[in-house]
Amino acid sequence: MSEIELAYYPGCSQVGTSVEYDMSTRACCKALGIRLFETPDWTCCGATPAHVVDHALAAALAGRNLAQAESVGARQLVTPCPSCLLALRSARSRCQNEAFKRRVERLLGRPMPMEVESRSVLQVLVEELGIERIVSSATRRLEGLAIAPYYGCLLTRPPGLMAFEDPENPTSMDRLFSALGARVAPFSLKTECCGAALAVPKQEAVLELSGRILEEAEATGAEVLVVACPLCQMNLDLRREQIERRLLRRFSIPVLYFTQLLGLALGLDAERLGLGLHNVSALPTLTRLRQAWATEK
Amino acid sequence: MQDFYDAPAHRLMRLVQLGRRAEALASSSLWLCAGCGQCSARCPNELDVAGVLETLRQMARRAGILPQPNVEAFARCFLNSVRAHGRVFELGFLLRYKLASGRLFEDLDLGPKLLKLGKLSLKPHSCRGQAEVEAIFQRFSNEGAHERN
Amino acid sequence: MRIGVFVCHCGSNIAGTVDCPAVAAAAQRLPDVAFAQDTPYACSEPGQRGIIQAVEEFGLDGVVVASCSPRMHEATFRRTMERAGLNRYMFEMSNIREHVSWVSKNKELNTKKAIDLVRIAVEKLRYNRPLTSKSFAVNKRVLVIGAGVAGIQAALDCADGGLDTVVVERSQSLGGKMAKLDKTFPTIDCSVCVLGPKMVDLTQHKNIKLYAMSEIEEVRGYVGNFEVVIRRKAAYVDWNICNGCGLCSAKCPSRKSHDAFNEGVGHTTAISIPSPQAIPKKARIDPSTCLQFTKGRCRHCEKVCPVKAINFDMQDELFTEKVGALIVATGFDLLNVSQFGEYGGGRYPDVVTSLQYERMLSASGPTGGHLKCPSDGREPKSVVFISCVGSRDRSRGRPYCSGFCCMYTAKQAILTKSHLPQCETHVFYMDIRSPGKGYDEFVRRAQEEFRTNYVRGRVSAVRPKNGRLSVRGVDTLLGEQVELEADLVVLAVGAGASDGAKELAEKLRISYDAYGFYMESHPKLKPVETNTAGVFLAGACQGPKDIPSSVSMGSAAAGKVMALFSKERMESDPQVAIVNPIRCVGCLKCLRTCPFGAIQEIVGRNGEPRAQVIESICQGCGICSVTCTPRAIELLHFTDNQLLAEVNALCRTWIEPSSE
């Protein structure tokens, strides 16, 4: 079987407040035979703030990383962060317009690489590697663990640009974790916004929106909320107590990155997956799974 | 996010249709849009509503119309941090944001949590690419108005 | 020759961008032109009189009219020619409207082009020959495809008019969509009660032969002489014997069949009669769910049938009917609801389509007319109706309005309130389309008398919440988002062409538009005719419409058919292909390429095979003349000499710029 080799763009969150997403992504990819090589000398893609200022600035900041990847011969780039992915993909898409491209290249000081394609880790795992192959590499089953898969906004929108799944009802995580033995609850707020980057400047908005997601997740009886975005994870996990104070109720559901849950199924150890790095402890989930695995023997 | 808007998205579209520029640019809705893209994905006439709001936001910022100054301050501090370090230095830019916005006591509860988990570094990452990033920003500042369209 | 040229102003339609007097003046100088004049409206009564007078006064033997498209008025002017005593084929038309004045605003260039077009018309006319039509017999029988209200009306009108009528209906019983409705707007008549008598009349009428459970297999022939092959699908029940008692269905153990009549609300048995009011009231077995067919064991129905009507060995049967005209009344189908993911269409049991809701409201429906939520059977306390689901929606490739949804939504809201006075009803709308008699008043009743909350705005999403449904949308008149809690959400799903419409159109050789709706011959003036002679349209197959419009069209189509049959014989178009037997080598390629089967093999003078055109079948398409290698076939009125004359006339000016 040929190995999949991809340029990897971690994004600023993954070396900062969402380091466990990076850890678990790398660990899963290694276990699945996907070789990631970090884009040399990568810099911030600009994310949402760059788009507040100017599209060309944003495209230049993102484009620099595409150029860095190209400089080491990469044609495929993968990133765990949907916000970075949007920046990278829309830079390439907007540069189809020649006038815009020229402006971006003037800012960038080097040619804008149009051949480097960027995708999310989730997309690569599900579409390129395939759920069957992942399941065959799994050493553990998820024992009917009830999960609510939360995709967030940017993985599937804008649908034409992200070219991934149906924005009304994406099912990649549903199918992946179902195949690994989890019980996937029908979660109706799969692609509702958590509030994203407004968390700091407009906290109340994020607490309301993220609060609704937690309410719905717990209402479905899910034991774990599974996410694929560092910003979503932060809003739903780190700001848990803030949400509880605002909505005047407790939420106990832990929020895991999908790569962390996947990693458990692949038999990787909890520390390597950064499972201790959450605000809301993932211990109940771990314990539940470990007990089930122990009785299995 | 519409619950928090002063002008709903459809009102903004109508203002644009009617050329009522000043009112459109003065709206705080522009700054409270999270860019989730739901509106564009649903529009039966296939309009990029999120894109329209984003463009209005850029126009408002350039004109100095900032009804939600904190949102702009957040973006500004973030980008300054990127410019200075190549990758965003979370602690640094958040502190600067607090000074810029005057929100000194907000989110103070989060700091210790992150520190305890070891996820908040006290120093910026070093990054050779910073020089190139600085150059991008420099060229952007030097751009004449005629180059933007 | 003495040719007359008439250049029409068409008011300002042509004259606005073409210098008509100048065109007439230029025409006067052409060879063989004895008279040239511009005229304000050539097709009008004075206009036509002017042509006839000129023919008489100046002894003209050929006429060119430079005006609109021949598709508009060629027939008109040909009749004018005959009234003037000339052969209708000594006439040519130059299209200086659609091809000139409507294309450009440059008067100078337009005038030049118009002059060129008139010149080539005059040149062709000089090579024209008078042609005479032949006539052929007309089979005065009509076949109606589809027995919904439009088809029923058409069939009854034809039959009452004395015509032998064949009706082919694909489903088990008549009535189409109207039979599925509970009540109709704006009178709140019981739908089946008003339609029932017509359905009975149809089955009892001595002039009507009904094929139910049948579809069109093949259509051969041409206007006045169609041959239609009909496939009657096996019902596995002998309908000559079955008396509709329903005992078979009561005893059938297979209870999970898709209930097509009830739009999939609940299930039905493998052997079933669609509804208590079905006409014909006969049973049929669905072989895909019947235990006898799938597993080889059961035959309960056979045992209990009091008249021994069950026959598992039945086969599809083919029948051939010869008719002179076809009326297509195949109706519409709702769009696929599962594409509306944001509303949970097809996913949430309590989100239903308008037709499903109609069955839920109906006393003969799966719930006996008791309004219940499909998920758990509870009575709804709040029903939300969403309009424009898939209509007026460019993003789904359906930019058109489906026309009847505003009205039936108001009706369904009223009926909901009649069933459950305490139930809240809300309608999300963009605009209200209520153009018919009493229509707008009816919508007002829904709002005022029946206290339905009309919210102007679209719904962004329907989501399950605490066992009910949360409907999030916007109220643009208020300027705020709204969130309503509902027990039932009814989607006014847009109307599309009937399933299988495109395939049928291919068999009938009629055109359809991008959505599969059949195309009328002229959107304003010929709504019931198609471009295929002898095939007429009625009802929603031509575009979504309400019941009165469908009924009108049914009668109109019947009227057209009766006009067609009013003559003993029909005139054939003499613009047909003709084989020159001297040049023909008998390869018969033309015979094989003719799409209408209009060429036959004959024995030529020296005993060798030759091709011969059957004039009454030939449609003048010209394919044979292009196929023929020895150039032995020509199309009358479009002969090589005639066409080359046009080319020469056009190109000669380029070579000799000094002559006009």
Summarize pLDDT for C69-103 with one digit per residue, the tens. 998 899 999 999 999 999 999 999 999 999 999 99
Nearest-CA distance A158 → chain B (Å): 6
Kindly state whether C105 is in contact with chain A, defined as any CB-CB distance less than 8 angstroms: no
What is residue C633's three-state secondary structure?
strand
B75 shares a domain with B47: no
Q: Does C341 touch chain A (CB under 8 A)?
A: yes
Q: Given a cut of 50, is residue C660 above it in pLDDT?
A: no
Strands C271-272 and C284-285: antiparallel
Query: Hey, of C339, C340, C391, C394, which one would you mutate to test binding to chain B, going by the most B CBs within 10 A of its CB?
Result: C394
Query: What pLDDT does residue B146 have?
Result: 65
The residue-averaged pLDDT of C637-656 equals 85
- The whole-angstrom distance between C486's CA and the closest CA on chain A is 16
Show which of C111, C131, C151 is a domain's final residue.
Answer: C131
Residue C324, in any domain of the structure: yes
> Can you say whether residue C484 is alpha, beta or left, with left for phi > 0 and alpha for psi between -120 and 50 degrees?
beta
Q: Which of A150, A153, A156, A168 to mutate to test the interface with C (most CBs of C within 10 A)?
A: A168
The mean pLDDT value for C650-656 works out to 70
Looking at the structure, tell me whether residues B52 and B81 fall in a common domain: no
Closest-CA residue in chain B for C397? B44
Taking a C-beta distance cutoff of 8 angstroms, is the pair C342, C460 a contact? yes
Enter the tokens of residue B59. 């126009």
Return the residue in C337, C338, C342 with the most chain A beta carbons within 10 A, the one to mutate for interface testing: C342
Q: Which pLDDT does position C71 carry in this prediction?
A: 86
Range of the domain at C192: 141-233+316-332+497-564
Could you tell me if C361 and C462 lie in one domain? yes
Residues C291 and C437 in one domain: no
CATH number of domain containing C216: 3.50.50.60
* Mean pLDDT of all residues in A77-85: 96
Closest Cα in chain B to C476? B10
Model confidence over A126-141: pLDDT tens digits? 999 999 999 999 999 9
pLDDT score of A2 more than 60: no
Tokens of C329: 């009344």
CA nearest A60 in B: which residue?
B136
Write out chain B residues lying below 8 Å of A153, CB-based: 34-38
pLDDT tens-digit map of C404-451: 999 999 999 999 999 999 999 999 999 999 999 999 999 999 999 999
Pick the range with the lowest mean pLDDT from B32-46, B109-123, C29-43, C322-336.
B109-123
Domain check: are B28 and B81 in the same one? no
Residues of B with CB under 8 A from a CB of C: 2-3, 8, 10-11, 38, 42-46
Q: Is the pLDDT of residue C331 over 50?
A: yes
Give residue C654's pLDDT.
Answer: 59
Contact flag A44-B75 (C-beta cutoff 8 Å): no
Residue C605 is predicted with a pLDDT of: 85
Pairwise CA distance, residues C557 & C536, whole Å:
6
Mean pLDDT across C158-183:
97
Question: What kind and span of H or E run contains A139?
Answer: none
- Yes or no: say if C352 and C374 are a contact pair by the CB < 8 Å rule: yes
- What pLDDT sits at residue B147? 64
Is the CB of residue A9 less than 8 Å from the CB of residue A36?
no
Which residue numbers of C have CB closer than 8 Å to B's CBs?
Answer: 342, 388, 392-396, 458, 460, 474, 476, 479-481
**Domain enclosing residue B41, as ranges:** 2-62
Q: Kindly report the pTM of this predicted structure.
A: 0.85
User: Cβ contacts of residue C492 below 8 Å, gap of 6+?
Assistant: C354, C385, C386, C387, C388, C389, C391, C402, C405, C406, C408, C409
> Predicted confidence band at B116 (pLDDT cuts at 50, 70, 90)?
confident
> Torsion angle, CA of A73/A76/A81/A85, rounded to 10 degrees?
100
Cβ of C347 within 8 Å of Cβ of A166? The answer is: no
Instruction: Answer whether residue C655 shows pLDDT above 70.
Output: no
Domain boundary among C104, C131, C158: C131
Do C467 and C586 fall within a single domain? Answer: no
pLDDT value, residue C618: 85
Question: Tens digits of per-residue pLDDT, C487-507?
Answer: 999 999 999 999 999 999 999
**In a shared domain, residues C404 and C374:** yes
Strand partners, C222: C225
Pair C341, A166: CB distance under 8 Å? yes
Q: Which of B33, B62, B91 is the last residue of a domain?
A: B62
pLDDT at C656: 53
Chain A environment of B109 (Cβ under 8 Å):
241-242
Taking an 8 Å cut-off on Cβ atoms, the answer to whether C481 and B42 are in contact is: no
ipTM, two decimals? 0.92
Give the count of domains, chain B.
Answer: 2
Residues in chain B: 149
Q: Most A CBs within 10 Å: which of C395, C465, C470, as the mutation test of the A interface? A: C465
For the stretch A254-292, pLDDT in tens is 999 999 999 999 999 999 999 999 999 999 989 989 988
Q: CA angle B86-B90-B91, nearest 5°?
A: 125
CA-based nearest distance B86→chain C, Å: 40
Could you tell me the pLDDT band of residue B109, with boundaries at 50, 70 and 90?
confident
Instruction: Give the span between the Cα atoms of C144 and C148, in whole angstroms.
Output: 10
Q: In chain A, which segments carry CATH 1.20.1050.140? A: 4-120
Which of residues B45, B62, B79 is at a domain's end?
B62
Beta-sheet pairing, A255-257 with C214-222: unpaired
Q: Angle at the Cα of C254 (from C251 to C256), degrees rounded to 5?
A: 130
With beta carbons less than 8 A apart as the criterion, state whether B72 and B66 touch: yes
Q: Are B50 and B118 part of one and the same domain? A: no
Residues C260, C114 share a domain: no
Tell which of B62, B88, B107 closes a domain: B62
How many beta-carbon pairs under 8 angstroms link A with C?
Answer: 12
Neighbours of chain B (3+ CB pairs under 8 A): A, C
**Which residues from B are below 8 Å from A50, CB to CB?**
79
Q: Which chains have 3 or more CB–CB distances shorter than 8 Å to chain A?
A: B, C
Cβ neighbours of C395 in B, within 8 Å: 42-46
Same domain, C397 and C462: yes
- Please tell me if residue C630 touches chain A, with a CB cutoff of 8 Å: no
Kindly tell me if the per-residue pLDDT of A209 is higher than 50. Answer: yes
List of chain B residues whose C-beta atoms are within 8 Å of the C-beta of residue C392: 44
Write down the pLDDT at residue C396: 94
Alpha carbon of C342: minimum distance to chain A alpha carbons (Å): 6
How does pLDDT run across C141-163, given as a tens digit for each residue?
A: 999 999 999 999 999 999 999 99
Q: What is the CA radius of gyration of chain A?
A: 19
Tell me the pLDDT of chain C averaged across its residues. Answer: 94
Q: Inspect the interface and report whether the beta carbons of A169 and C464 lie closer than 8 Å.
A: no
CB contact under 8 A, C341 and A168: yes
Q: Give the per-residue pLDDT at A203.
A: 92
Task: List CB contacts (< 8 A) between B79 and chain A.
Answer: 46, 49-50, 53
Tokens of A91: 């830079």
Residue of A nearest to B3 (CA): A205
Q: Do C463 and A189 touch (CB under 8 A)?
A: yes
Q: How many domains does chain C have?
A: 5
- SS3 of A150-218: CCCCCCCCCHHHHCCCCCCCCCHHHHHHHHCCCEECCCCCCCCCCCHHHHCCCHHHHHHHHHHHHHHHH
Picking from C493, C517, C541, the residue at the C-terminal end of a domain is C493
Inter-chain touch C464–A168, beta carbons under 8 Å: no
Are C374 and C470 contained in the same domain?
A: yes
**B32-82 tens-digit pLDDT:** 999 999 999 999 999 999 999 999 999 999 999 999 999 999 999 999 999
To the nearest 10°, report the CA torsion of C108, C114, C117, C122.
-120
Residues of B in contact with A87 (CB under 8 A): none
Q: Which chain C residue has the Cα nearest residue B2?
A: C481
For residue A11, the tally of other CB atoms under 10 A from its CB is: 28
CATH of domain A4-120: 1.20.1050.140
Domain with CATH 3.40.50.11810 in chain A: 140-296
pLDDT single digits (tens) C615-624: 877 888 899 9
Q: What is the CATH code of the structural domain delimited by A140-296?
A: 3.40.50.11810
